[in-house]
């Protein structure tokens, strides 16, 4: 149950912000009443007033939230009246002296944090169907983050100070940055001019030895005198570019694998345009993943190879191997899956974007169904969606710095890659949405037919190395762990610290973070974690030791890439990765 303000109380005061009320109100009773009205008027009431059927709020829990909120308001009011120390602001957005050293701004921020906490607590208190709960929490958190006083020039003392000290130039630069970003269709996270793919990103030496309209296949030059007989084929996600695995020499997973004596082959996806708008999931499996496997086998003269799939690339790779298994082929000596989903039961925060209505709309707009022509999902749309999964870090932080303060973004290789988006064919995207996120069909043996054969991950009996990142908001680590139950071979699961990208890109030389291992794989991920042992540093060394056991004999490193049939076309990283969406 939620208490509401009466209509007689809805005066002009309830439209005030905490900042204006700070300078106007002198009566603590009126202050508390106005703050409660402001809370209801600006979002919390709206978030709870029109709850979907089947949801409820425990009255006792709501009473506790209201009591905590009331006590918080009184404490802040007493602090203002006493003219003592400014309130503590346990949030990095308000850590600067301009916030903490000036009472009006400090109390504005404190009241925002108090209201934000109450609103999020109310969203958490809603009971109902899990997907509805998750959507309400997501919507409320988005609103809370957007309404921070740090996001507005009128209530951000640091931006005001920059405006005065620069004699207006900060605002001029901020407007210029905003107009440039409007032209790009996205917020700039880094200085794009500082990086160039092939110059200071994706510079591990190699050659493109095969290409078709879907991908280029890169073979990297050896960096050791001898190499393992079995090559390593890497299939990155096609929803972004491969060079996150080959950013710069000091943090390149590709280069690290080559330095360990592996002949590395890598799929570089083409950035599709309108000429590929009608391509399907089956097309990408048959003409990309399976073709890359066959070319790698031919070049290496190995019946079996080692394979690695990252994120969506892991889903594509596993599907391709299941198709080949149904055809009687078993080309993988081992498989590594990095933050990949095969079981889509729990897809984390991304689940809030996917329901039947959304998928059907996509199918009838860009999916080529219902008599409409197929289209392209543009990369900027995907990039902006992923940014709003972490709005304070990837949206509002840059709104404040780039627009309000007029600062230019600093160079950062991962953020450059993050903004270098790729398009997707509509039919591919719609198939993926429906059969994974919406219906979770892939995990069920024989439910789906891909490339003319039933898909059954249970036919994959090669040794598998499964990796998840503990703070991953794209692929929850428990979901990465769930892949183990679908595969029949020997399996090793390793959990790394940090998130979807930073957890994966963690070179040993940096001596950062940690990872967890355990010798058994219980049914529940939480049981695995309870028995796991933490190790300092990078999981790369653990993976390298595991992969070496599946590399086969050592042989003299080849002096050329490709073979008579597949000869070098151009130097790595190739043309495809350089195409901008």
Active site residues: 311
Which tokens sit at 51? 């709850």
In the chain, the N- to C-terminal Cα span, in Å, equals 48
Rounded CA gap, 131 and 129, in Å? 6
- Phi and psi, residue 527, nearest 5°: -65, -35
- Facing residues of 554 across strands? 228
Q: Which helix (H) or strand (E) holds 25?
A: none
Kindly write down the DSSP assignment for every residue of 10-58, as one continuous string.
-SGGGG--HHHHHHH---HHHHHHHHHHHHHHTTHHHHHHTPPTT-EE-
* Strand 332-338, strand 464-469: pairing: parallel
Q: Which residue is it, tokens 């940096």?
A: 510
Q: CB-based contacts of 55: which residues, under 8 Å, 6+ apart?
A: 126, 127, 128, 129, 132, 133, 136
Question: Where does 147-280 have alpha helices with state H?
Answer: 157-165, 169-184, 253-259
Q: Please name which of 137, 127, 7, 147 lies closest in space to residue 62, comparing C-alpha atoms.
A: 127
* Strand 464-469, strand 491-496: pairing: parallel
- Phi and psi, residue 61, nearest 5°: -65, -40
Q: Please name which of 192, 189, 210, 209 lies closest in space to residue 201, comparing C-alpha atoms.
A: 192
Rounded CA gap, 421 and 396, in Å? 20
């Amino acid at each position: 149950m939620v208490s509401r303000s009466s209509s007689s109380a809805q005066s002009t005061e309830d439209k005030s912000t905490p900042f204006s009320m700070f300078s106007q109100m002198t009566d603590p009773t009126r202050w508390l009443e106005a703050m409660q009205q402001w809370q209801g008027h600006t979002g919390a009431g709206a978030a709870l007033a029109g709850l979907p059927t089947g949801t409820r709020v425990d009255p006792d829990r709501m009473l506790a939230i209201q009591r905590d909120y009331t006590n918080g308001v009184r404490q802040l009011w007493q602090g203002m009246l006493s003219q003592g120390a400014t309130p503590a602001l346990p949030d990095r957005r308000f850590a600067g002296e301009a916030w903490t050293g000036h009472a009006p701004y400090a109390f504005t921020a404190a009241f925002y944090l108090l209201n934000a906490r109450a609103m999020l607590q109310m969203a958490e208190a809603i009971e109902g169907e899990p997907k509805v709960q998750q959507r309400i929490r997501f919507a409320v958190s988005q609103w809370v983050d957007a309404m921070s006083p740090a996001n507005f020039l009128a209530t951000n003392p640091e931006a005001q100070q920059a405006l005065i000290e620069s004699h207006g130039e900060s605002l001029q630069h901020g407007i210029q940055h905003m107009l440039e970003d409007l032209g790009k269709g996205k917020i700039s996270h880094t200085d794009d001019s500082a990086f160039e793919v092939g110059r200071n990103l994706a510079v591990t030496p190699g050659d493109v030895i095969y290409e078709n309209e879907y991908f280029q296949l890169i073979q990297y030059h050896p960096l050791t005198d001898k190499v393992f007989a079995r090559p390593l084929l890497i299939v990155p996600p096609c929803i972004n570019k491969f060079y996150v695995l080959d950013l710069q020499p000091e943090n390149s997973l590709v280069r690290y694998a080559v330095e360990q004596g592996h002949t590395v082959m890598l799929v570089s996806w083409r950035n599709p345009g309108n000429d590929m708008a009608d391509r399907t999931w089956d097309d990408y499996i048959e003409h990309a993943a399976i073709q890359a496997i066959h070319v790698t086998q031919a070049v290496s003269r190995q019946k079996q190879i080692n394979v690695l799939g990252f994120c969506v690339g892991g889903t594509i790779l596993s599907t391709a191997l299941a198709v080949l298994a149904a055809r009687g082929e078993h080309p993988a000596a081992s498989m590594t899956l990095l933050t990949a989903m095969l079981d889509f039961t729990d897809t984390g925060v991304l689940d809030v974007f996917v329901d039947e209505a959304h998928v059907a709309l996509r199918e009838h707009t860009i999916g080529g169904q219902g008599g409409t022509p197929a289209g392209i999902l543009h990369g900027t749309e995907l990039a902006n969606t992923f940014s709003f999964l972490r709005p304070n870090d990837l949206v509002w932080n840059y709104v404040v710095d780039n627009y309000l303060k007029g600062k230019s973004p600093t160079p950062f290789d991962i953020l450059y890659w993050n903004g270098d988006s790729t398009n997707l064919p509509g039919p591919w995207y719609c198939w993926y949405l429906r059969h994974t996120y919406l219906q979770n069909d892939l995990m069920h043996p024989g439910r789906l037919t891909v490339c003319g054969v039933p898909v059954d991950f249970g036919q994959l009996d090669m040794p598998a190395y499964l990796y998840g990142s503990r703070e991953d908001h794209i692929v929850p680590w428990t979901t990465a762990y769930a892949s183990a139950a679908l595969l029949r071979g020997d399996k090793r699961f390793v959990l790394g610290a940090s998130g979807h990208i930073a957890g994966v890109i963690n070179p040993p030389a940096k001596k950062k973070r940690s990872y967890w291992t355990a010798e058994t794989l219980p049914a529940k991920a939480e049981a695995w974690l309870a028995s796991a042992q933490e190790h300092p540093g990078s999981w790369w060394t653990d993976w390298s030791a595991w992969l070496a056991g599946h590399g086969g004999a050592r042989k003299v490193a080849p002096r050329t890439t490709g073979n008579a049939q597949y000869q070098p076309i151009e130097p790595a990283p190739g043309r495809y990765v350089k195409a901008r969406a």
